[in-house]
Amino acid sequence: MALFPKLKTTAVAQFPSGRSLSYATEILRFIDGTEQRFRRAGAPVSRWEISLSKLDGGELAAIREFFISQQGRYGTFEFMDPWDGIEYQGCSFEEDELELTLDGERSSDAKVTIRRGIA
């Protein structure tokens, strides 16, 4: 399985980046005031909002080529969580579009959202 590319510093994210964990819970309320709760998915959905700035041409190209090889959100890959250092399998991009900004030789930026789990 493919692994999300690391920067030359071996980091996979820079500040500001964020992560979230969400559950897909449905609540049915009955006329008598009681509730029934159930999950639409067995596992929570993890999301990482990754911001990368001041990338050089090689780092930017590696991220772009990786995105293309995954065909946007179609493919799955391993991603190392920058907060806990665990490599999670079954991750994918949340969007089919890659946001890249090229402002100069060492001033390239990239933003991606990576998810794991079914919403």
Instruction: Please give the CATH number for the structural domain made up of 14-116.
Output: 2.40.30
Q: State residue 105's pLDDT score.
A: 65
Q: Is the dihedral of CA 67, 73, 78, 84 positive or negative?
A: positive
Cβ neighbours for 95, distance < 8 A, ≥ 6 positions apart: 72, 73, 112, 113
Averaged pLDDT for residues 30-41: 89
Q: State residue 15's pLDDT score.
A: 83
Q: What percent of the chain has pLDDT over 70?
A: 96
Q: Backbone dihedral region of 97: left (phi > 0), alpha (psi from -120 to 50 degrees) or beta?
A: beta
- Would you list the domain boundaries of the chain? 14-116
Q: What percent of the chain has pLDDT over 90?
A: 45
Averaged pLDDT for residues 49-64: 89
Q: Is the pTM here over 0.85, yes or no? A: no
Lookup result for tokens 């500001």: 16
Cα–Cα distance measured from residue 39 to residue 13, given in angstroms and rounded to the nearest whole number: 31
